Chain A
Protein backbone atom coordinates (compact mmCIF):
# COMPACT_ATOMS: atom_id res chain seq x y z
CA UNK A 1 0.00 0.00 0.00
CA UNK A 2 2.89 2.37 0.48
CA UNK A 3 3.28 2.96 -3.21
CA UNK A 4 -0.34 4.00 -3.36
CA UNK A 5 0.06 6.25 -0.34
CA UNK A 6 3.14 7.90 -1.74
CA UNK A 7 1.50 8.38 -5.04
CA UNK A 8 -1.64 9.78 -3.46
CA UNK A 9 0.49 12.30 -1.67
CA UNK A 10 2.06 13.27 -4.97
CA UNK A 11 -1.38 13.75 -6.42
CA UNK A 12 -2.21 15.80 -3.38
CA UNK A 13 0.83 17.95 -3.96
CA UNK A 14 -0.15 18.47 -7.55
CA UNK A 15 -3.61 19.46 -6.44
CA UNK A 16 -2.33 21.96 -3.98
CA UNK A 17 -0.31 23.52 -6.73
CA UNK A 18 -3.51 25.13 -7.86
CA UNK A 19 -2.48 28.69 -7.41
CA UNK A 20 -4.63 30.76 -5.17
CA UNK A 21 -4.49 34.18 -6.80
CA UNK A 22 -3.72 37.12 -4.55
CA UNK A 23 -6.72 38.50 -2.65
CA UNK A 24 -8.89 35.63 -3.85
CA UNK A 25 -10.70 35.70 -0.53
CA UNK A 26 -11.81 39.28 -1.13
CA UNK A 27 -12.75 38.50 -4.69
CA UNK A 28 -14.98 35.64 -3.67
CA UNK A 29 -16.43 37.76 -0.86
CA UNK A 30 -17.15 40.44 -3.43
CA UNK A 31 -18.96 37.97 -5.67
CA UNK A 32 -21.16 36.97 -2.75
CA UNK A 33 -22.02 40.59 -2.04
CA UNK A 34 -22.89 41.09 -5.69
CA UNK A 35 -25.32 38.20 -5.61
CA UNK A 36 -26.81 39.36 -2.35
CA UNK A 37 -27.44 42.80 -3.77
CA UNK A 38 -28.90 41.37 -6.97
CA UNK A 39 -31.21 39.22 -4.95
CA UNK A 40 -32.32 42.12 -2.79
CA UNK A 41 -33.04 44.31 -5.82
CA UNK A 42 -35.03 41.52 -7.41
CA UNK A 43 -37.19 41.26 -4.32
CA UNK A 44 -37.69 45.00 -4.18
CA UNK A 45 -38.83 45.01 -7.78
CA UNK A 46 -41.30 42.27 -6.97
CA UNK A 47 -42.65 44.34 -4.16
CA UNK A 48 -43.10 47.42 -6.29
CA UNK A 49 -44.96 45.21 -8.71
CA UNK A 50 -47.30 44.29 -5.90
CA UNK A 51 -48.04 47.84 -4.83
CA UNK A 52 -51.70 48.55 -5.27
CA UNK A 53 -52.08 52.12 -4.21
CA UNK A 54 -51.83 54.46 -7.11
CA UNK A 55 -50.85 57.89 -6.08
CA UNK A 56 -51.17 59.19 -9.59
CA UNK A 57 -54.94 59.17 -9.95
CA UNK A 58 -55.51 61.18 -6.81
CA UNK A 59 -52.83 63.67 -7.72
CA UNK A 60 -54.30 63.89 -11.17
CA UNK A 61 -57.61 65.07 -9.76
CA UNK A 62 -56.21 67.83 -7.62
CA UNK A 63 -53.06 69.02 -9.29
CA UNK A 64 -54.61 69.31 -12.71
CA UNK A 65 -54.97 72.96 -13.43
CA UNK A 66 -53.37 73.98 -10.17
CA UNK A 67 -50.65 76.46 -10.88
CA UNK A 68 -47.66 77.01 -8.64
CA UNK A 69 -49.07 79.85 -6.62
CA UNK A 70 -47.61 81.67 -3.69
CA UNK A 71 -50.91 82.02 -1.92
CA UNK A 72 -52.67 78.86 -0.86
CA UNK A 73 -55.72 80.87 0.08
CA UNK A 74 -56.36 81.48 -3.58
CA UNK A 75 -57.69 77.95 -3.73
CA UNK A 76 -60.32 78.46 -1.09
CA UNK A 77 -63.66 77.38 -2.37
CA UNK A 78 -67.11 78.83 -1.88
CA UNK A 79 -68.55 75.65 -0.48
CA UNK A 80 -68.90 75.44 3.32
CA UNK A 81 -65.79 74.51 5.18
CA UNK A 82 -65.39 71.09 6.66
CA UNK A 83 -66.65 70.93 10.19
CA UNK A 84 -64.41 70.43 13.17
CA UNK A 85 -64.65 66.69 13.55
CA UNK A 86 -65.06 64.72 10.40
CA UNK A 87 -66.35 61.20 10.68
CA UNK A 88 -64.71 58.67 8.40
CA UNK A 89 -66.92 55.75 7.57
CA UNK A 90 -66.33 52.55 5.74
CA UNK A 91 -67.85 53.20 2.34
CA UNK A 92 -67.43 49.94 0.54
CA UNK A 93 -65.72 46.70 1.46
CA UNK A 94 -64.29 44.53 -1.27
CA UNK A 95 -63.91 41.03 -0.04
CA UNK A 96 -63.04 37.61 -1.26
CA UNK A 97 -62.13 34.65 0.82
CA UNK A 98 -61.05 31.14 0.03
CA UNK A 99 -59.21 28.49 2.04
CA UNK A 100 -55.74 29.82 1.42
CA UNK A 101 -56.11 33.48 0.68
CA UNK A 102 -58.08 36.53 1.55
CA UNK A 103 -58.75 39.95 0.13
CA UNK A 104 -60.31 42.55 2.34
CA UNK A 105 -60.24 46.13 1.20
CA UNK A 106 -62.09 48.78 3.14
CA UNK A 107 -62.72 52.01 1.31
CA UNK A 108 -62.98 55.11 3.47
CA UNK A 109 -65.81 57.59 3.03
CA UNK A 110 -65.51 61.03 4.49
CA UNK A 111 -68.84 61.84 6.02
CA UNK A 112 -69.04 65.51 5.32
CA UNK A 113 -70.63 67.47 2.54
CA UNK A 114 -68.16 69.43 0.55
CA UNK A 115 -66.72 69.69 -2.89
CA UNK A 116 -63.45 68.28 -1.67
CA UNK A 117 -64.87 65.33 0.16
CA UNK A 118 -67.00 64.38 -2.79
CA UNK A 119 -63.94 64.28 -4.99
CA UNK A 120 -61.86 62.46 -2.40
CA UNK A 121 -64.54 59.87 -1.80
CA UNK A 122 -64.91 59.28 -5.49
CA UNK A 123 -61.15 58.83 -5.78
CA UNK A 124 -61.06 56.43 -2.82
CA UNK A 125 -63.83 54.33 -4.30
CA UNK A 126 -62.16 54.18 -7.69
CA UNK A 127 -58.83 53.22 -6.18
CA UNK A 128 -60.45 50.64 -3.93
CA UNK A 129 -62.03 48.97 -6.96
CA UNK A 130 -58.76 49.06 -8.83
CA UNK A 131 -56.88 47.62 -5.86
CA UNK A 132 -59.44 44.82 -5.61
CA UNK A 133 -59.03 43.95 -9.30
CA UNK A 134 -55.28 43.91 -8.96
CA UNK A 135 -55.51 41.69 -5.88
CA UNK A 136 -57.62 39.23 -7.85
CA UNK A 137 -54.93 39.20 -10.55
CA UNK A 138 -52.24 38.54 -7.97
CA UNK A 139 -54.25 35.68 -6.54
CA UNK A 140 -54.39 34.12 -9.96
CA UNK A 141 -50.67 34.57 -10.46
CA UNK A 142 -49.81 33.04 -7.13
CA UNK A 143 -52.41 30.32 -7.69
CA UNK A 144 -54.23 31.30 -4.54
CA UNK A 145 -51.39 30.22 -2.33
CA UNK A 146 -51.57 31.84 1.06
CA UNK A 147 -52.07 35.43 0.08
CA UNK A 148 -53.71 37.97 2.25
CA UNK A 149 -54.44 41.43 0.91
CA UNK A 150 -55.98 43.91 3.24
CA UNK A 151 -56.76 47.56 2.79
CA UNK A 152 -57.57 49.65 5.81
CA UNK A 153 -57.66 53.29 6.71
CA UNK A 154 -56.96 55.36 9.76
CA UNK A 155 -57.60 58.95 10.75
CA UNK A 156 -54.35 60.45 11.91
CA UNK A 157 -55.30 64.06 12.51
CA UNK A 158 -58.66 65.77 12.81
CA UNK A 159 -58.58 69.31 14.18
CA UNK A 160 -59.60 72.81 13.18
CA UNK A 161 -57.10 73.06 10.36
CA UNK A 162 -56.35 69.60 9.09
CA UNK A 163 -57.81 66.22 8.36
CA UNK A 164 -55.24 63.52 7.72
CA UNK A 165 -56.23 60.11 6.48
CA UNK A 166 -53.89 57.16 5.99
CA UNK A 167 -54.85 54.34 3.67
CA UNK A 168 -52.78 51.24 4.20
CA UNK A 169 -52.48 48.24 1.91
CA UNK A 170 -50.90 45.16 3.40
CA UNK A 171 -50.04 42.20 1.24
CA UNK A 172 -48.85 39.01 2.87
CA UNK A 173 -47.74 36.56 0.24
CA UNK A 174 -44.26 35.11 -0.15
CA UNK A 175 -43.22 38.03 1.98
CA UNK A 176 -44.77 40.92 3.77
CA UNK A 177 -45.42 44.22 2.12
CA UNK A 178 -47.08 47.32 3.48
CA UNK A 179 -47.82 50.49 1.58
CA UNK A 180 -49.14 53.67 3.06
CA UNK A 181 -50.78 56.61 1.44
CA UNK A 182 -51.51 59.79 3.34
CA UNK A 183 -53.98 62.46 2.36
CA UNK A 184 -53.78 65.75 4.19
CA UNK A 185 -56.80 68.00 3.78
CA UNK A 186 -56.50 71.67 4.68
CA UNK A 187 -59.98 72.25 6.07
CA UNK A 188 -59.80 76.00 6.17
CA UNK A 189 -58.72 76.31 2.59
CA UNK A 190 -60.58 73.28 1.37
CA UNK A 191 -57.70 71.79 -0.48
CA UNK A 192 -55.83 68.49 -0.42
CA UNK A 193 -52.20 69.24 0.19
CA UNK A 194 -49.38 68.21 -2.05
CA UNK A 195 -45.72 68.93 -1.37
CA UNK A 196 -45.28 71.40 -4.23
CA UNK A 197 -48.20 73.41 -2.88
CA UNK A 198 -46.36 74.12 0.36
CA UNK A 199 -43.12 75.37 -1.13
CA UNK A 200 -41.92 78.28 -3.24
CA UNK A 201 -40.08 76.12 -5.73
CA UNK A 202 -38.25 72.84 -6.19
CA UNK A 203 -35.43 73.89 -3.88
CA UNK A 204 -37.35 72.28 -1.03
CA UNK A 205 -36.26 68.85 -2.28
CA UNK A 206 -32.55 69.13 -1.39
CA UNK A 207 -33.47 70.83 1.89
CA UNK A 208 -35.68 67.88 2.85
CA UNK A 209 -33.11 65.37 1.62
CA UNK A 210 -30.33 66.89 3.70
CA UNK A 211 -32.47 67.10 6.80
CA UNK A 212 -33.58 63.50 6.52
CA UNK A 213 -30.05 62.24 5.94
CA UNK A 214 -28.92 64.21 8.98
CA UNK A 215 -31.61 62.54 11.09
CA UNK A 216 -30.69 59.14 9.67
CA UNK A 217 -27.09 59.66 10.75
CA UNK A 218 -28.19 60.62 14.24
CA UNK A 219 -30.35 57.53 14.56
CA UNK A 220 -27.53 55.27 13.40
CA UNK A 221 -25.17 56.90 15.89
CA UNK A 222 -27.58 56.09 18.68
CA UNK A 223 -28.31 52.55 17.59
CA UNK A 224 -25.77 50.65 15.55
CA UNK A 225 -28.28 48.02 14.47
CA UNK A 226 -30.04 50.61 12.34
CA UNK A 227 -29.31 50.59 8.63
CA UNK A 228 -30.31 53.17 6.05
CA UNK A 229 -29.42 52.47 2.43
CA UNK A 230 -28.33 56.06 1.89
CA UNK A 231 -25.96 56.17 4.84
CA UNK A 232 -24.60 52.79 5.84
CA UNK A 233 -26.12 50.27 3.47
CA UNK A 234 -23.80 47.54 2.13
CA UNK A 235 -24.29 49.14 -1.25
CA UNK A 236 -24.96 52.84 -1.03
CA UNK A 237 -28.23 53.99 -2.55
CA UNK A 238 -28.76 57.71 -2.76
CA UNK A 239 -31.84 59.16 -1.12
CA UNK A 240 -33.95 60.76 -3.82
CA UNK A 241 -37.13 62.60 -3.00
CA UNK A 242 -39.70 63.72 -5.50
CA UNK A 243 -42.84 65.82 -5.41
CA UNK A 244 -44.86 62.63 -5.00
CA UNK A 245 -43.17 61.70 -1.74
CA UNK A 246 -45.49 60.33 0.94
CA UNK A 247 -46.02 62.98 3.64
CA UNK A 248 -48.58 64.40 6.04
CA UNK A 249 -49.06 67.13 8.63
CA UNK A 250 -49.11 65.82 12.17
CA UNK A 251 -51.09 66.89 15.24
CA UNK A 252 -48.44 69.46 16.05
CA UNK A 253 -48.78 70.83 12.51
CA UNK A 254 -45.32 69.82 11.50
CA UNK A 255 -44.35 68.25 8.21
CA UNK A 256 -43.72 64.50 8.40
CA UNK A 257 -42.03 62.58 5.58
CA UNK A 258 -43.03 58.93 5.53
CA UNK A 259 -41.25 56.04 3.81
CA UNK A 260 -42.77 52.61 3.34
CA UNK A 261 -40.99 49.45 4.41
CA UNK A 262 -38.04 48.73 2.08
CA UNK A 263 -37.98 52.26 0.63
CA UNK A 264 -35.01 53.59 2.55
CA UNK A 265 -34.01 50.75 4.83
CA UNK A 266 -33.99 46.95 4.99
CA UNK A 267 -37.35 45.25 5.57
CA UNK A 268 -36.82 44.55 9.25
CA UNK A 269 -36.78 48.30 9.95
CA UNK A 270 -40.38 48.65 8.81
CA UNK A 271 -41.96 51.99 7.96
CA UNK A 272 -39.68 55.00 8.54
CA UNK A 273 -40.90 58.50 9.36
CA UNK A 274 -39.06 61.77 9.81
CA UNK A 275 -40.48 64.92 11.41
CA UNK A 276 -39.05 67.98 9.69
CA UNK A 277 -38.50 70.91 12.07
CA UNK A 278 -40.28 73.91 10.59
CA UNK A 279 -37.16 75.94 11.43
CA UNK A 280 -35.32 74.13 8.66
CA UNK A 281 -38.02 74.95 6.13
CA UNK A 282 -38.25 78.66 6.77
CA UNK A 283 -36.47 79.64 3.59
CA UNK A 284 -38.42 77.42 1.23
CA UNK A 285 -41.97 77.54 2.57
CA UNK A 286 -44.45 79.66 0.71
CA UNK A 287 -46.09 80.70 3.95
CA UNK A 288 -43.72 80.70 6.91
CA UNK A 289 -46.60 80.63 9.38
CA UNK A 290 -48.40 77.74 7.73
CA UNK A 291 -46.63 75.14 9.82
CA UNK A 292 -46.01 75.28 13.54
CA UNK A 293 -42.70 76.19 15.07
Chain B
Protein backbone atom coordinates (compact mmCIF):
# COMPACT_ATOMS: atom_id res chain seq x y z
CA UNK B 1 0.00 0.00 0.00
CA UNK B 2 2.85 2.27 0.94
CA UNK B 3 4.37 1.80 -2.45
CA UNK B 4 1.20 2.87 -4.24
CA UNK B 5 0.80 5.95 -2.06
CA UNK B 6 4.38 7.02 -2.75
CA UNK B 7 3.82 6.55 -6.46
CA UNK B 8 0.84 8.89 -6.31
CA UNK B 9 2.82 11.48 -4.37
CA UNK B 10 5.58 11.30 -6.92
CA UNK B 11 3.18 11.71 -9.83
CA UNK B 12 1.76 14.85 -8.27
CA UNK B 13 5.22 16.15 -7.56
CA UNK B 14 6.33 15.69 -11.15
CA UNK B 15 3.13 17.33 -12.35
CA UNK B 16 3.86 20.32 -10.10
CA UNK B 17 7.45 20.61 -11.30
CA UNK B 18 6.30 20.61 -14.90
CA UNK B 19 3.82 23.37 -14.15
CA UNK B 20 6.49 25.39 -12.37
CA UNK B 21 8.78 25.07 -15.36
CA UNK B 22 6.05 26.13 -17.76
CA UNK B 23 5.34 29.15 -15.56
CA UNK B 24 9.03 29.99 -15.38
CA UNK B 25 9.24 30.02 -19.17
CA UNK B 26 6.38 32.48 -19.31
CA UNK B 27 7.95 34.84 -16.78
CA UNK B 28 11.67 34.45 -17.41
CA UNK B 29 11.96 33.55 -21.08
CA UNK B 30 13.93 36.71 -21.79
CA UNK B 31 16.47 36.02 -19.02
CA UNK B 32 16.87 32.48 -20.31
CA UNK B 33 17.51 33.68 -23.82
CA UNK B 34 19.90 36.49 -22.97
CA UNK B 35 21.97 34.35 -20.63
CA UNK B 36 22.20 31.53 -23.14
CA UNK B 37 22.96 33.96 -25.95
CA UNK B 38 25.68 35.70 -24.00
CA UNK B 39 27.55 32.39 -24.17
CA UNK B 40 26.60 31.09 -27.56
CA UNK B 41 26.46 34.33 -29.60
CA UNK B 42 24.15 32.42 -31.90
CA UNK B 43 20.36 32.30 -31.96
CA UNK B 44 19.89 28.60 -32.74
CA UNK B 45 22.60 27.52 -30.34
CA UNK B 46 21.02 29.60 -27.61
CA UNK B 47 17.71 27.83 -28.15
CA UNK B 48 19.47 24.47 -28.16
CA UNK B 49 21.17 25.27 -24.88
CA UNK B 50 17.80 26.17 -23.41
CA UNK B 51 16.23 23.00 -24.77
CA UNK B 52 19.05 20.87 -23.36
CA UNK B 53 18.44 22.50 -20.00
CA UNK B 54 14.77 21.58 -20.23
CA UNK B 55 15.68 17.97 -20.95
CA UNK B 56 18.00 17.83 -17.93
CA UNK B 57 15.32 19.39 -15.76
CA UNK B 58 12.70 16.86 -16.86
CA UNK B 59 15.00 13.96 -16.03
CA UNK B 60 15.72 15.47 -12.62
CA UNK B 61 12.03 15.91 -11.87
CA UNK B 62 11.79 12.14 -11.53
CA UNK B 63 14.52 11.98 -8.96
CA UNK B 64 14.33 15.09 -6.78
CA UNK B 65 12.12 15.07 -3.70
CA UNK B 66 12.04 18.78 -3.10
CA UNK B 67 13.06 21.89 -5.01
CA UNK B 68 13.29 24.88 -2.68
CA UNK B 69 13.84 27.72 -5.09
CA UNK B 70 12.66 26.57 -8.48
CA UNK B 71 13.97 29.57 -10.39
CA UNK B 72 17.47 29.30 -8.94
CA UNK B 73 17.43 25.55 -9.45
CA UNK B 74 16.62 25.84 -13.11
CA UNK B 75 19.02 28.69 -13.82
CA UNK B 76 21.78 26.64 -12.24
CA UNK B 77 21.13 24.02 -14.89
CA UNK B 78 20.90 26.67 -17.63
CA UNK B 79 24.15 28.40 -16.67
CA UNK B 80 26.02 25.10 -16.45
CA UNK B 81 24.66 23.96 -19.78
CA UNK B 82 25.65 27.27 -21.36
CA UNK B 83 29.17 27.05 -19.94
CA UNK B 84 29.53 23.46 -21.15
CA UNK B 85 28.40 24.51 -24.60
CA UNK B 86 30.83 27.41 -24.63
CA UNK B 87 33.72 25.17 -23.60
CA UNK B 88 32.78 22.59 -26.19
CA UNK B 89 32.69 25.10 -28.98
CA UNK B 90 35.51 27.31 -27.65
CA UNK B 91 33.87 30.18 -29.37
CA UNK B 92 36.09 32.69 -31.04
CA UNK B 93 35.98 35.91 -29.13
CA UNK B 94 34.65 38.81 -31.15
CA UNK B 95 37.54 40.43 -32.87
CA UNK B 96 37.68 43.80 -31.30
CA UNK B 97 41.06 45.28 -31.00
CA UNK B 98 41.42 45.88 -27.32
CA UNK B 99 44.46 47.95 -28.01
CA UNK B 100 42.31 50.66 -29.47
CA UNK B 101 40.71 51.11 -26.13
CA UNK B 102 41.69 54.03 -24.08
CA UNK B 103 39.66 52.83 -21.15
CA UNK B 104 37.58 55.40 -19.43
CA UNK B 105 38.65 58.17 -21.74
CA UNK B 106 37.15 56.22 -24.60
CA UNK B 107 33.95 55.83 -22.66
CA UNK B 108 33.78 59.48 -21.85
CA UNK B 109 34.06 60.33 -25.49
CA UNK B 110 31.87 57.65 -27.02
CA UNK B 111 29.27 56.97 -24.35
CA UNK B 112 28.55 53.57 -25.72
CA UNK B 113 29.87 50.04 -25.70
CA UNK B 114 28.76 47.91 -28.54
CA UNK B 115 27.46 44.44 -28.02
CA UNK B 116 30.45 42.94 -29.77
CA UNK B 117 32.77 44.77 -27.44
CA UNK B 118 30.81 43.45 -24.51
CA UNK B 119 31.12 39.93 -25.87
CA UNK B 120 34.85 40.33 -26.05
CA UNK B 121 35.06 41.68 -22.52
CA UNK B 122 32.97 38.84 -21.14
CA UNK B 123 35.00 36.23 -22.99
CA UNK B 124 38.10 37.45 -21.28
CA UNK B 125 36.51 37.26 -17.87
CA UNK B 126 37.01 33.91 -16.21
CA UNK B 127 34.24 31.88 -14.61
CA UNK B 128 32.65 32.37 -12.14
CA UNK B 129 33.31 36.09 -12.30
CA UNK B 130 31.71 36.20 -15.69
CA UNK B 131 28.55 34.50 -14.41
CA UNK B 132 28.39 36.80 -11.43
CA UNK B 133 28.63 39.85 -13.66
CA UNK B 134 25.91 38.62 -15.98
CA UNK B 135 23.61 37.38 -13.22
CA UNK B 136 24.04 40.29 -10.84
CA UNK B 137 24.59 43.33 -12.99
CA UNK B 138 22.72 42.38 -16.08
CA UNK B 139 19.97 40.06 -15.00
CA UNK B 140 19.41 41.42 -11.53
CA UNK B 141 19.56 38.23 -9.48
CA UNK B 142 20.21 38.74 -5.77
CA UNK B 143 23.43 37.60 -4.13
CA UNK B 144 21.49 34.88 -2.36
CA UNK B 145 20.03 33.59 -5.63
CA UNK B 146 23.38 33.73 -7.35
CA UNK B 147 24.86 31.74 -4.47
CA UNK B 148 22.30 29.01 -5.15
CA UNK B 149 22.71 29.11 -8.90
CA UNK B 150 26.49 28.90 -8.75
CA UNK B 151 26.57 26.60 -5.71
CA UNK B 152 28.73 28.77 -3.47
CA UNK B 153 28.25 30.68 -0.26
CA UNK B 154 26.88 34.19 -0.32
CA UNK B 155 30.06 35.63 1.10
CA UNK B 156 32.08 33.96 -1.62
CA UNK B 157 29.80 35.48 -4.22
CA UNK B 158 30.20 38.90 -2.67
CA UNK B 159 33.97 38.65 -2.58
CA UNK B 160 34.14 37.46 -6.14
CA UNK B 161 31.76 40.17 -7.21
CA UNK B 162 34.08 42.94 -6.05
CA UNK B 163 37.00 41.14 -7.55
CA UNK B 164 35.20 40.83 -10.86
CA UNK B 165 34.58 44.55 -10.96
CA UNK B 166 38.30 45.05 -10.60
CA UNK B 167 38.97 42.53 -13.32
CA UNK B 168 36.69 44.39 -15.64
CA UNK B 169 38.45 47.62 -14.97
CA UNK B 170 41.82 46.04 -15.68
CA UNK B 171 40.61 44.63 -18.94
CA UNK B 172 39.52 48.01 -20.04
CA UNK B 173 42.52 49.95 -18.90
Give A residues with C-beta under 8 Å from B: 3-4, 6-8, 10-18, 20-21, 24-25, 27-29, 31-32, 34-36, 38-39, 146, 148, 172, 174-176, 267-268
If the complex has contacts A13-B112, A31-B47, A176-B4, are A20 and B30 also in contact, measured as CB distance less than 8 A? Answer: yes
A7: chain B residues at CB < 8 Å are: 104, 107, 168, 172
If the complex has contacts A6-B107, A172-B4, are A31 and B51 also in contact, measured as CB distance less than 8 A? Answer: yes
If the complex has contacts A24-B29, A31-B47, A174-B62, are A15 and B54 also in contact, measured as CB distance less than 8 A? Answer: no
Tell me if B25 is interfacial: C-beta within 8 Å of chain A: yes
On whether the beta carbons of A29 and B25 are closer than 8 Å, the reply is yes
A11: chain B residues at CB < 8 Å are: 113, 118, 121, 133, 137-138, 168
**Contact stretch, chosen from B32-40, B64-72, B84-92, B147-155:** B32-40
Q: List 14 A-B contacts (CB under 8 A).
A: A3-B104, A4-B165, A7-B104, A8-B165, A15-B138, A16-B34, A17-B114, A24-B33, A31-B47, A31-B50, A38-B55, A39-B59, A172-B3, A175-B7
A28 to B169: give the CA distance in the assembly, Å: 35
On whether the beta carbons of B11 and A267 are closer than 8 Å, the reply is yes
B43: chain A residues at CB < 8 Å are: 21
Q: Which of A15, A17, A35, A176 contacts B51 (CB 8 A)?
A: A35
Which are the 9 A-B pairs with shortest beta-carbon distances? Answer: A14-B118, A15-B138, A31-B51, A35-B54, A14-B113, A25-B29, A17-B115, A39-B58, A10-B113
Dominant secondary structure of chain A at its interface with chain B: helix
Tell me if B21 is interfacial: C-beta within 8 Å of chain A: yes
On whether the beta carbons of A14 and B115 are closer than 8 Å, the reply is yes
Q: Give the contacts of B41-64 with A (CB-CB under 8 A).
A: 43, 47, 50-51, 54-55, 58-59, 62
Tell me if B117 is interfacial: C-beta within 8 Å of chain A: yes
A32 to B172: give the CA distance in the assembly, Å: 39
A31 to B104: give the CA distance in the assembly, Å: 42
B135 to chain A, nearest CB (A): 11
B24 to chain A, nearest CB (A): 9
On whether the beta carbons of A18 and B37 are closer than 8 Å, the reply is yes
If the complex has contacts A27-B47, A29-B25, A35-B51, are A15 and B34 also in contact, measured as CB distance less than 8 A? Answer: yes
A290 to B59: give the CA distance in the assembly, Å: 50
A189 to chain B, nearest CB (A): 40
Give B residues with C-beta under 8 Å from A: 3-4, 7, 11, 15, 18, 21-22, 25-26, 29-30, 32-34, 37-38, 43, 47, 50-51, 54-55, 58-59, 62, 104, 107, 111-115, 117-118, 121, 133-134, 137-138, 165, 168-169, 172
A1 to chain B, nearest CB (A): 9
A3 to B168: give the CA distance in the assembly, Å: 12
B117 to chain A, nearest CB (A): 7
On whether the beta carbons of A29 and B26 are closer than 8 Å, the reply is yes
A16: chain B residues at CB < 8 Å are: 34, 138
If the complex has contacts A4-B169, A13-B112, A18-B38, are A24 and B30 also in contact, measured as CB distance less than 8 A? Answer: yes
Q: Which of A7, A27, A175, A268 has the most CB of B within 10 A?
A: A7
A11 to B55: give the CA distance in the assembly, Å: 32
A281 to B117: give the CA distance in the assembly, Å: 73
B103 to chain A, nearest CB (A): 9
A21 to B62: give the CA distance in the assembly, Å: 33
B55: chain A residues at CB < 8 Å are: 35, 38-39
On whether the beta carbons of A28 and B117 are closer than 8 Å, the reply is no
If the complex has contacts A7-B107, A14-B114, are A31 and B7 also in contact, measured as CB distance less than 8 A? Answer: no
A176 to B7: give the CA distance in the assembly, Å: 7
On whether the beta carbons of B30 and A10 are closer than 8 Å, the reply is no
On whether the beta carbons of A32 and B104 are closer than 8 Å, the reply is no
On whether the beta carbons of A28 and B50 are closer than 8 Å, the reply is yes
> Which residue of the partner chain B has the closest CB to A170?
B4
B54: chain A residues at CB < 8 Å are: 31-32, 35-36
On whether the beta carbons of B21 and A32 are closer than 8 Å, the reply is yes
If the complex has contacts A24-B29, A36-B58, are A172 and B51 also in contact, measured as CB distance less than 8 A? Answer: no
A34 to B51: give the CA distance in the assembly, Å: 9
A38 to B55: give the CA distance in the assembly, Å: 9
If the complex has contacts A15-B134, A172-B3, are A32 and B25 also in contact, measured as CB distance less than 8 A? Answer: yes
